[in-house]
Amino acid sequence: MIDEQNLKGTVVMLHPEMWEAHADTEGVIGEIVKADPARDDFYVKYGDGAEPRLHSSDALMVLKEPDEIYEYLQNHSADISPFDFKDLKTIALLTDRGTLKQMRTAMELVEKNESIRDASVMSLDKIIRLQQNKGLDR
């Protein structure tokens, strides 16, 4: 689960609609190095030596929880190709482990396979709003 107060170190992918305009040689997968959710400021480093870039939360995608991906697989196993099923299961397993390297590998699978994106990632702003709403319900 993403900790809204400590987003530093979270692996993110630039929203696919922004790839052409903002992606460069460092790619579209990076790591949050500084976050100020109250101001909607997220600094993401995309490669070694690269300067962090500022984004708002709606420009960044994060991996869903493994349980959500497993639930999707259970409910849609007949609807998806064996290749997509394998990729989604691999992503769920990698995110369950949760090391930085494994999260990056999972995000690379998402980057390469457009047909599994909706099942495996969601916008960072949506996660932040969900967590804020849970906090208000308590």
pLDDT tens sequence across 63-80:
999 999 999 999 999 999
Asked if residue 94 is part of any domain, the answer here is yes
Residues 8, 42: contact at Cβ < 8 Å? no
What's the whole-model pTM score? 0.85
Asked if residue 4 is part of any domain, the answer here is no
Parent domain of 105? 11-137
Count of the separate structural domains present in the chain? 1
Q: Name the maximum alpha-carbon separation found in the chain.
A: 44
Asked if residue 6 is part of any domain, the answer here is no
* Reported confidence tier of residue 5, pLDDT bands at 50, 70, 90: low
The tens digit of pLDDT for each residue in 84-93 reads 999 999 999 9
Asked if residue 2 is part of any domain, the answer here is no
Q: What is the dihedral of CA 35, 40, 41, 45, to 10 degrees?
A: 70
The Cα–Cα gap between 3 and 116 comes to 24
Asked if residue 1 is part of any domain, the answer here is no
Nearest to 13, CA basis, from 99, 97, 120, 130: 120
The tens digit of pLDDT for each residue in 109-118 reads 999 999 999 9
